Amino acid sequence: MLGAEVTQNGPMSFQTGNPEIDRHMSRVFEQLGQFQTVQQELAEAKETGTGAAGLVKVTVGPSANLLDVALDPRAMRLDSISLTEAIMAAYQAACDQMNHRVTEIMGPLMPPGVRAGDVVGGDGLKVVGEDGTSKDPMAAVREALDRVNRLQR
């Protein structure tokens, strides 16, 4: 009898009675758990860059989305061009730090020759389906389980 339990945040198990399939599915669930951990870390990631000797601070999220801009009152003494350059420099520094952070988070999961930035977008980790569209990792595993269930019948 085929039994499968898939939960979003808890342990996952898959028992078919076939040791080979069970071993492979165990590895799939292990990798899925790693993906979920990475996705959570990415969702919480924030990096801050500075410009104009610390007078300007910019915070970005994992997809380089602007989360915060903080200006020291002394930054208002800068002319508009200098202030713009300071904001852009702070933004670039924050993005560079975020790229490093994403690589750090994703690095252990990346196969040789694949850059983390090629896999992660603004919506977090995605799995590419057979039709070439992005899918949520949990949805991809559910579809794989459905295919296995159909094959077992």
pLDDT tens track for 7-25: 444 455 667 778 888 887 8
To the nearest whole number, what is the mean pLDDT of the chain? Answer: 76
pLDDT tens track for 117-136: 566 544 444 555 556 566 56
**In the chain, where the domains are located:** 3-43+137-152, 45-107
Comparing 145 with 76, the larger pLDDT belongs to 76
Long-range interactions of 130-138: CB distance < 8 A, separation 24+: 137/32, 137/35, 137/36, 137/39, 138/6, 138/8, 138/32, 138/36
pLDDT of 124: 46
**DSSP secondary structure, 32-43, as one string:** HHHHHHHHHHHH
Comparing 11 with 39, the larger pLDDT belongs to 39
Tell me yes or no: is domain 45-107 CATH 3.30.1310.10: yes
